[in-house]
Amino acid sequence: MLKSSIARKVAMALSAFFLMIFLLQHLAINLTSVFSAETFNELSQFMGTNPLIQFVMQPVLLFGVLFHFIMGFVLEFRNRSSRSVNYVKNNGAANSSWMSRNMILSGLVILAFFCLHFVDFWIPEINTKFIQGDWTGVVAGEEGFRYFAELQHKFVNPIRVGVYCLAFVFLALHLLHGFNSAFQSVGANNKYTKGLKKFGTAYAILVPLGFIFIALFHHFNH
């Protein structure tokens, strides 16, 4: 079924819905770190040790992320080959937004950010849990769970904070087109579309802004 152009865009949209829900969940848990280190630690320990999350949701998430990126590249490649000779003069700004024309660019920035984010958080977690076999969430000789301290430590370096903030700006640009594009792709264009567009714009700005706030908060409060 993925051989057809419409099937591919629907698949792209479905993976986007999944990732947008994941983003909300990620933001909600990270936001607790601003208010309570204890709550953040408890939630992180739960997410990090719950078998359903670790052995079912985590592989599903990895698949979703990989699928979205790979399909994005496949679509970009195919679309580029649909016009073998480019226009000498093209005024794309006259009829479409910058965000909609540059999803591959914002996507590539997000992909580069993912690499950094994986090196920062995900790979160390996988190493601790699956290679060293330590599922306790504590560091010997220290009190309480390690998650909050690790999070704060990562946001000490101003360059890393800057890179994170810049990546979230590109995430916002990606979502400003992607949120509503996903609905259009699955055929949802109806009386609710106008309202949904406003909600999509709010989502695309507020969610990345939330992540930026968290990064800056921990940078200035460590």
Partner 1 sequence: MKLTLKIWRQKNSNDKGGIQTYPIDNVSEHMSFLEMMDVLNEQLITQGTDPIAFDHDCREGICGMCSMYINGEAHGPDRGVTTCQLHMRKFKDGDTIYIEPFRAKGFPVIKDLVVDRTAFDRIQHAGGFVSVNTSGNTQDANAIPIPKDDADKAFDAATCIGCGACVASCKNASAMLFVSAKVSQFSLLPQGKVEAKRRVLNMVEQMDKEGFGNCTNTGACEVECPKGISLENIARMNREYLKASLASD
The separation between CA 213 and the C-alpha centre of its own chain, rounded to angstroms, equals: 16
Can you tell me which of 52, 85, 131, 159 binds partner 1, judged by CB under 8 A?
85
Select from 104, 106, 113, 105 the least CA-distant residue to 71: 104
14 versus 31: smaller Cβ distance to partner 1: 14
Contact between 177 and partner 1 by CB under 8 A: the answer reads yes
126 versus 188: smaller Cβ distance to partner 1: 188
Residue 138: helix, strand or coil by DSSP?
Answer: strand
Q: What is the size of the binding site for partner 1 (CB under 8 A)? A: 41
Structure tokens at 186: 């699955």
Rg (CA), the chain: 20
Tally of CB atoms within 10 A around 199: 13
Can you tell me which of 35, 51, 52, 89 binds partner 1, judged by CB under 8 A?
89
Q: What is the rounded distance in angstroms from the CA atom of residue 122 to the CA atom of residue 114?
A: 10
Contact between 70 and partner 1 by CB under 8 A: the answer reads no
Contact between 100 and partner 1 by CB under 8 A: the answer reads yes
Contact between 201 and partner 1 by CB under 8 A: the answer reads no
Under the rule (CB under 8 A), what is the footprint of partner 1? 1, 3-10, 75, 78-79, 81-92, 94-97, 100-101, 103, 177, 180-181, 184-190
